[in-house]
Amino acid sequence: MALFYIEWSMKYLVKGEGEAVVLLHGWGADKEAMAPLTEALSSEYTVIAPDLYGFGESPITRVMALEDYAEGIIGILNKEGFSRAAVIGHSFGGRVGIRLAVRHREMVSGLVLVDAAGLKPRPGVKRALRRLGNAFGKATHLYKPKGSADYEHSSGYLRGTFLNVIHDFQEGECPLIRCPTLLIWGRKDRDTPPYMARRMRRLIHGSRLVWIRDGGHFSYLDESTRVALLIKEFLAE
């Protein structure tokens, strides 16, 4: 039976029994996006799946930073009576997972990063052209500068939060992670490309990287059965 709670205005689902596993969704998604993993893991663990601030049914009442999301998760764990939990983060949820594993390491027993964000992107032609176009538009007032799709689809406090988050690069944090870490990545991921996975593996000491050959940015949905099995094997270790 799944139960729903609200902690610090963050709504979350609790399902199953056993050691705690926290599922963190990506930007623009909600806890329902993690449903395949919730179902697969709740037979053996207590799965906690929140709507992160600004998504799903969790409101956002001010411009936030990455630390605010991490503190919200700590608040949930404290309320549920868990002193430690394994954390699984997809994309933006991976950013939150990294922050938790570094600044609240005593509470993170293991970390799974699925197509995770957090590293500074390589300079690319597309990004350079957009930057030049925005500079021209701003200077000439011929058109309004545009941001990424995630930025354009955000509004209100979430836009400011998005800017805080994407400029919070975590290259310096990754080497400080001490818990066992598994990276799961789609080889066809275009949002957090494979070079980020390889760089993250080098930065996180002792981490292991598993490729999902035909997976994209949502590799845990592209091959949900295999990804769930990989996570179960990792947690059992």
> Is residue 27 domain-resident?
yes
Supply the CATH number for residue 182's domain: 3.40.50.1820
Element (H, E) at 75: helix 66-80
Q: How confident is the model at residue 24 (pLDDT cuts 50, 70, 90)?
A: very high
Segments forming the whole domain that contains residue 102: 3-123+169-236
| Per-residue pLDDT reduced to its tens digit, 133-184 | 445 455 665 555 556 776 677 779 999 999 999 999 999 999 999 999 999 9
Q: What is the pLDDT of residue 152?
A: 78
The tokens for 40 are 């697969």
The yes-or-no verdict on residue 6 having pLDDT over 80 is: no
CB atoms within 10 A of CB 56: 20
- Smallest CA-to-CA distance from 219 within 111, 100, 113, 109 is with 113
Examine residue 54 and state whether it is found in any structural domain, yes or no: yes
Q: What percent of the chain has pLDDT over 90?
A: 82
Element (H, E) at 165: helix 157-166
| C-alpha to C-alpha distance for 91 and 94, rounded to whole angstroms | 5
CA angle (14, 17, 18) in 5-degree steps: 120
C-alpha dihedral (92, 95, 100, 103), degrees to nearest 10: -150
Q: Rounded to the nearest 5°, which phi and psi values hold at 82?
A: -105, 125
Residue 48 tokens, joined: 């906690």
Please report whether residue 211 resides in a domain.
yes
Rounded to whole angstroms, the Cα distance separating 62 from 40 reads 34
158 located within any domain:
no
Answer whether residue 30 is part of any domain. Answer: yes
- Give the count of domains, the chain: 1
Give the H or E element holding residue 231: helix 224-236
The average pLDDT across 74-84 equals 96
More confident residue, 232 or 134: 232
Burial of 228 (0-12, 13-18, 19+ CB in 10 A): middle
Query: What residues contact residue 171 under an 8 Å CB cut-off, 6+ apart?
Result: 119, 120, 203
Hey, which residues does 88 pair with through a beta bridge?
23, 112
**Does a structural domain hold residue 93?**
yes
In contact, 213 and 142? CB cutoff 8 Å = no
Tell whether 98 is covered by a domain.
Answer: yes
Tell me, yes or no, whether 162 lies in a domain.
no
